[in-house]
Amino acid sequence: MNQSHSLPIDDPLDGDTLHEECGVFGILGHPDAAALTALGLHALQHRGQEAAGIVSFDGKRFYQERHMGLVGDHYTNPMTLARLPGGMSIGHTRYSTTGEVAMRNVQPLFAELEEGGIAIAHNGNFTNGLTLRRQIIATGAICQSTSDTEVVLHLIARSRHASTSDRFIDAIRQMEGGYSMLAMTRTKLIAARDPTGIRPLVMGELDGKPIFCSETCALDIIGAKFIRDVENGEVVICEIQPDGSISIDARKPGKPQPERLCLFEYVYFARPDSVVGGRNVYTTRKNMGMNLAKEAPVDADVIVPVPDGGTPAALGYAQESGIPFEYGIIRNHYVGRTFIEPTQQIRAFGVKLKHSANRAMIEGKRVVLVDDSIVRGTTSLKIVQMIREAGAREVHVRVASPMIFFPDFYGIDTPDAEKLLANQYADVDAMAKYIGADSLAFLSINGLYRAVGGEDRNPARPQFTDHYFTGDYPTRLLDKNGESMGNKLSMLASNG
């Protein structure tokens, strides 16, 4: 289950941002494997800012570098990359949703098995990870981390199959939830995506060498060619042969299921220049804004995005409504999660640490604020207040996704259901009053579906994973429903 690791508990903005667990990148057979992996992780930085790790193999030994903080803080150092020799590597950038923030949870995780070393990195969350952890610990296993990725290593080690590939497949067939996973052995790079296809994973090629990564933007940064999406339920095994060639074996070991990509990849998580599930993310976000303008028009003087997530939707809203678009809020990109807030007085600055009102675009005007989503509403409250203080005559908030009613268990860090704004007030008018807006409106679920997939939601067989809006979870929630969340997970402190 997701565990929140946000700002201090007394911070007014605590838990008011959704976080994706991580991004993964792997390449096989390239002399610059580690450097390319570092660049790929840099492009995937938006998927996780707490830690990053890379494991490489040079034909004889495995090497690893794991660090807390941003990719650029460590992997731009030539000495760091020099410690990662070899022609194959996998990397991971992390935001924790399962397990605490500590060095022992930084991926890729590495283990020595009977057949040799294996490194594993994954994006997402297993909904039966804690249940399986409890079972393997009960049989004598020793767990070094609180990450559910380690469970996969144990299952691989215990498998009775002969080859590493078959052991890997045997292990992931026991896992449930949403995930994209990479594994690296002495000769193989293995990629796998969950049977429902909740989390994204793409395959690319550079100089004839295979690459797997969470988003196409990581291919673009190194000039690699996009080949295709890894299909839901697919395992792709790339192996270096004795003659130096690379074989590619794609398998679908499980029962076929319809793909249901996570809608929040389009709403919030994926980078705007990425292509997810064959759809350009920037275009889908503009479509959301256009549909929002049709569903919830308002007489106003200016459309202002809440940066950066609300910008494409605000452009779409302005284009559809004919109301001018302006940057009425300027974002400070140099304030990170580690910003020191030593006193309550400084903490009270709240959102102004990251956003400043552009008074010239706001003063005396009727403003439409367009945001991508609202979680708890505490950030919205601060931004509306900031816009009013800058002289806005009216403030209307438009949200380019539906109301969030339900928590996530597939790798998105969401607050408990009772802390979500949509569950705290009886109707939209009451929510608008809380955040201080003259009006508030959300995009409908069908408006979102049309923006992404071009058609309304099919209630009998939803085309996407949308449980945060609808409560329709695409898999069993074994850990949650079995109350495995109350297990005795010790939280060993780590100096990181």
Read off φ and ψ for residue 315, nearest 5 degrees: -65, -45
**End-to-end alpha-carbon separation of the chain, Å?**
23
List alpha helices for 301-394, DSSP H.
311-321, 344-347, 359-362, 378-389
Coil, strand or helix at 198? coil
CA-CA distance, 161 to 189, in Å (whole number)?
Answer: 18
Pairing of strands 22-28, 209-213: antiparallel
Contact 106, 51 (CB under 8 A): yes
Q: Is 22 a catalytic residue?
A: yes
- Let me know: does 152 contact 172? Beta carbons within 8 Å: yes
Residues 164, 150: Cα–Cα separation, whole Å: 16
Residue pair 373/309 in contact (Cβ under 8 Å)? The answer is yes
Tokens of 129: 């990870």
Taking a C-beta distance cutoff of 8 angstroms, is the pair 159, 118 a contact?
no
Greatest extent of the chain over all pairs of C-alpha atoms, in Å: 72
Q: What is the DSSP letter of 150?
A: H
Query: What is the DSSP annotation of 380-393?
Result: HHHHHHHHHHTT-S
466: left (phi over 0), alpha (psi -120 to 50) or beta: alpha
CA separation for the pair 291, 63 (Å, rounded): 50
| CA geometry: angle 297, 355, 333, nearest 5 deg | 120
3-state secondary structure of 359: helix
Q: How many CB atoms lie within 10 A of CB 364?
A: 8
Q: Rounded to an integer, what distance in angstroms lies between the CA atom of residue 249 and that of residue 169?
A: 13
Catalytic residue among 22, 213, 238, 262: 22
Q: Strands (DSSP E) along 256-393, which ranges?
A: 275-276, 279-280, 302-305, 329-331, 355-357, 366-371
Residues 199, 180: contact at Cβ < 8 Å? yes
Q: What is the DSSP string of 454-474?
A: SS---TTS-SSB-HHHH---S
- Burial of residue 134 (number of CB atoms within 10 Å: 0-12, 13-18, 19+): middle
Amino acid at the residue 404: I
**Residue matched to tokens 């830690």:** 51
Q: Give catalytic residue positions.
A: 22
